[in-house]
Chain A
Amino acid sequence: MLFMGDGAIHNHQELKELARRCRNDIVKMTHAAKSGHPGGSLSAIDIMVSLYGTIFRFDTNNPNWEDRDRFIMSKGHASPAMYALLHQMGIMDEDEMMSFRTLGSVCQGHVDMNWTPGVDFSAGSLGMGLSFGLGCSIAAKMDGSKRKVWVLLGDGETQEGQIWEAAMAASYHQANNLRVIVDRNRIQNDDFMDVQMEVGDIGQKFSSFGWTVKEVNGHDIPALVDILEWANVNESPIAIIAHTTKGKGVSFMEDNPSFHGMAPNDDELSIALEELK
């Protein structure tokens, strides 16, 4: 299967099926590791499938292709979503995926470009990915390349001041090839954001920094595909606020802050896999 923009899936049913298989992998690998972050992986996976399955220019046979689009997973703790997708795209085999978080594994706890072919950023410390994406964006412009840079942010992550340093700079530098998708699942590590420190209207904030902003249901794959295709051809720094549910697809994980950073136990795995059939 090639994921190179032109060779994309586009078929919504196929994308939904791909997301379902990725969700299975997410709960399986966090269960095996007895750690990891299933909640934010499940909230992000429809976004990632919709991107990689359609417009993202990427060669599964050559993950380091120089002129590929870049996907910067700034919320790097959602690594199971990335590994599941890489596995489903045929870049990573099942044993590698299931070695998640073990010594020597290509699947580090947080996504790491030095360990995993197909990963474009070494994350783990929140707030840094948008700046990194801006660097990729400026370099692409200097090179006259048409590659696009997609940055996936968590909503809790927007509490980091560096996000807004980058948002301000991207506008000034006319980073028209830079796109941000905010996984707006409303939950951060300790609790719901409105308990911890609500950030308010993230779209309005990006808008006031000079970005073009769209809002979308982050689990509505046809809507996601439409908006990603729109963003792919519009020249502006673009922020897409994707409203999501943390733990989406597994009933007891949905909207449950406990599953931000907790793996399912044996019983929970059985229930989850049953629900994800």
Chain B
Amino acid sequence: MSAPSSGGASRDGYGKGLLRLSEDPRVVVLEADLGKSTKSCHFREKFPERTVSLGIAEQNMMLVAAGMASSGKVPFASTFAIFTERAFEQIRNGIARPGFAVHICGSHGGIHTGTDGSSAQSIEDLGIYRAIPKMTVIHPCDDISAEELTVQLLSLDGPSYMRTARNKTPRAYDEESVSKIKIGKGSVLSHGSDLAIVACGVMVHEAMNAAEVLSQKGVDCTVVDMHTIKPFDSQLMENIAKTCGCIVTAEDHSIIGGLGSSISEWAASNHPIPIEMVGVNDRFGESGGSSELMEELGLTSESIIQASLRAIKRKNTV
């Protein structure tokens, strides 16, 4: 795999995606004071008449979005990932239960968000939204895939949650490869038969780095960008489980409830194989620079490499 080119943050991709969606007059954007941060501000600048600013009141925003969806609009509502959680029950009861196509974007998710500290570092969002029936849950790894996936949200007929990251990540895609990604289908970034590393969000880049190191040790890895946590791509998982026989999951999220959990749930019933999970080990974060925090909490390529070696060892001793 070629070295990834530098890109923006996935939140930048969301902002660009909204602009592309503006061609559809049904699309409206809802903000809770954080448009400059989530990047919905670009839509607001161009389409103020289709942007609804609701202040620091996320619970209200979610039901306003539902009401607009019931009246023919396609709302995109964004705030920080952690503050969407404040309106969890509103999302559950007011949006998902009636099945409205309201698209919620939570930016600044994960430990990666850095210096703001643990109050801002949502590490449970993917898990809680995944538990809601009808919800599509997405966590893109770079700016251009975030843009593409944002545009694809328009074709969904139910609710979605997308987590984006505050900080820049290297691109895993280029203009051509990004055109092939699809909501609900994991993207295979590299093929190998010894081990599969299934990652999402900012950990995709770490997964690719780990795979490169592992290949030098003679371990051929499949690397998957599992940008869609739900619906679960069981077909892809079946293929890689058969080919590789063991899996490492990697996510900037608690190991409880997120990507690793979803794959473990699937594997337990369908294809029991060794799985090692790299993620936040049931603790809160703290303030610090993004990379030093990722190091502190073990969200690194090195952790993935160690987990990979454990997984392969388990596979070989089964």
Q: Which residues of A are in contact with B by a Cβ distance under 8 Å?
A: 66, 72, 112-114, 120-122, 124-125, 127-129, 131-140, 142-143, 161-162, 165-166, 168-169, 172-173
In the complex, chain B residues whose CB is within 8 Å of the CB of A124: 93
A134/B98 contact (C-beta < 8 A), A66-B72, A128-B93, A142-B49 known: no
4 shortest A-B CB distances, which residue pairs? A135-B67, A131-B63, A139-B71, A165-B60
Q: Is B310 an interface residue (CB 8 A)?
A: no
Query: Is B64 in the interface zone, CB < 8 Å from A?
Result: yes
Chain A neighbourhood of B93, CB < 8 A: 122, 124-125, 128
Q: Please state if A136 and B68 are interface contacts (CB–CB under 8 Å).
A: yes
CB-based contact B72/A135 at 8 Å: no
Check B67–A142 contact: CB distance below 8 A: no
Quote the shortest CB–CB distance from B3 to chain A (angstroms).
46
Assess whether A138 is in contact with B52, with CB atoms less than 8 Å apart. yes
Residues on the B chain within 8 Å of A120, using CB: 70
Minimum distance in angstroms from A137 CB to a CB of chain B: 8
Contact code string B31-74 (vs A, CB < 8 Å = 1, else 0): 00000000000000000011010110101111111111111110
B28 at the interface (CB under 8 A from A): yes
B98 to A, closest residue via Cβ: A122
Known contacts: A124-B93, A132-B64, A132-B66. The answer to whether A114 contacts B71 by CB under 8 A is no
B99 at the interface (CB under 8 A from A): yes
Contact of B98 among A113, A129, A133, A135 (CB under 8 A): A113
Known contacts A114-B98, A125-B89, A132-B66; is-contact A169 B60 (Cβ 8 Å): yes
Q: How far is the CA of A126 from the CA of B211 in the complex (A)?
A: 50
A128–B99 CB distance below 8 A: no
Interface presence of B94 (CB below 8 A):
yes
Among A66, A121, A139, A169, the residue within 8 A (CB) of B68 is A139
Question: Is the Cβ of A142 less than 8 Å from the Cβ of B64?
Answer: no
Contacting pair B60 A139 (CB below 8 A):
no
Contact B67 A133 (CB under 8 A): yes
Give chain A nearest CB distance to B184 CB in angstroms. Answer: 23
- A114-B99, A135-B67 known; A142 vs B94 contact (CB < 8 Å): no
Pairwise interchain contact B97-A138, C-beta atoms closer than 8 A:
no
Partner of B71, one of A122, A131, A143, A169: A143
The answer on a CB contact under 8 Å between B59 and A169 is no
A-B contact pairs, 13 of them (CB 8 A): A112-B98, A127-B59, A131-B63, A132-B67, A132-B94, A135-B64, A136-B70, A139-B73, A142-B28, A162-B59, A168-B55, A169-B55, A173-B52
Distance in Å: Cβ of A259 to nearest Cβ of chain B: 25
Measured in the bound complex, the distance between the Cα atoms of B59 and A127 in whole Å is 10
Q: Give chain B nearest CB distance to A131 CB in angstroms.
A: 3
A173 closest partner in B (C-beta) = B52
Alpha-carbon distance A136/B69, docked complex (angstroms): 8
Nearest CB in chain A to that of B65: its residue: A135
Q: Which residues of B contact A122 (CB under 8 A)?
A: 93-94, 97-98
A142:B63 contact, CB within 8 angstroms: no
A172 to B57 CA separation, bound complex (whole angstroms): 13
Query: Which residues from 76 to 110 on chain B have a C-beta closer than 8 Å to any C-beta of chain A?
Result: 89-90, 93-94, 97-99
Contacts of A121 in B (CB 8 A): 70
Give the docked Cα–Cα distance between A121 and B66 (Å).
10
Known: A135-B63, A135-B68, A165-B60. A142 touches B73 (CB 8 A): yes
B147 → A minimal CB distance (Å):
26
Residues of chain B within 8 A (CB-CB) of A135 are 63-71, 75
